[in-house]
Chains A and B, each alone.
Chain A
């Protein structure tokens, strides 16, 4: 199985901050990488697919980059509704998720 890691595991940020979350795969997955946002008590919601494509309806402040083993999710200007946990997920083989990054208010 392909293992996914994320850093940091949590971060504190203020409204308007630029936030960057990193995801690493245990082997090359090309751009078979998706990002999800999950709020407490809710199902995950896809933000970015294929490493850098914005899912329909997702605000443009979210962006993704990377290929191979190293990927990044960036929120250009953090908004109140962005406080949540973010997961990366590889779809190169049987799916695996990263452990998550919790973004909370500083």
Chain B
């Protein structure tokens, strides 16, 4: 059974830092690109960051570029998100999500998600 379990969410002051983790199990972690997606309270979904299986390619949303760093440790089947210079607007549930590339024209989708971890940025 595929499982993604996030951890590390907390209450942090504006300007502070936090590191989120996502522990993966039930699949070959090294075969998949991974993502972070967030959802502010009562709001919609916002993609945050992407990393390929070998960490060769990384993308960020403009809203977090220069402040957040995605990484992974394939030996530990783990995905991370280092969050610096946090702002009030970063308050959200953060989900890790696995990317699956389908056989239909290579369309990708987020096929498995964790339960999310809540980050609250407030003084």
Interface residues of A (CB under 8 A from B): 1, 30-32, 34, 36, 38, 42-46, 49-50, 53, 55, 87, 89, 91, 94-100
Contact = CB atoms under 8 A, between A and B. Distances in A.
A94 B104 contact: no
Dominant SS at the B interface? strand
B107 interface: yes
Contact of A97 (B47, B114, B115, B116): B47
Range of interface residues on B (Cβ < 8 Å): 20 to 34
Contacts, number: 64
Contact of A43 (B46, B47, B61, B113): B113
Nearest to B95: A43
Interface in B33-62: 35, 44-47, 50, 59, 61-62
Contacts of B111: 46, 55
B95 A98 contact: no
A96 B61 CA distance: 10
B35 A49 contact: no
22 contacts: A30-B105, A34-B107, A36-B45, A38-B45, A42-B115, A43-B95, A43-B113, A44-B45, A44-B110, A49-B104, A49-B107, A50-B102, A50-B104, A53-B104, A87-B45, A91-B107, A91-B109, A94-B47, A94-B61, A95-B50, A97-B45, A98-B44
A36 B61 CA distance: 20
- Greatest chain A CB density within 10 A among B35, B44, B105 is at B44
Nearest to A96: B47
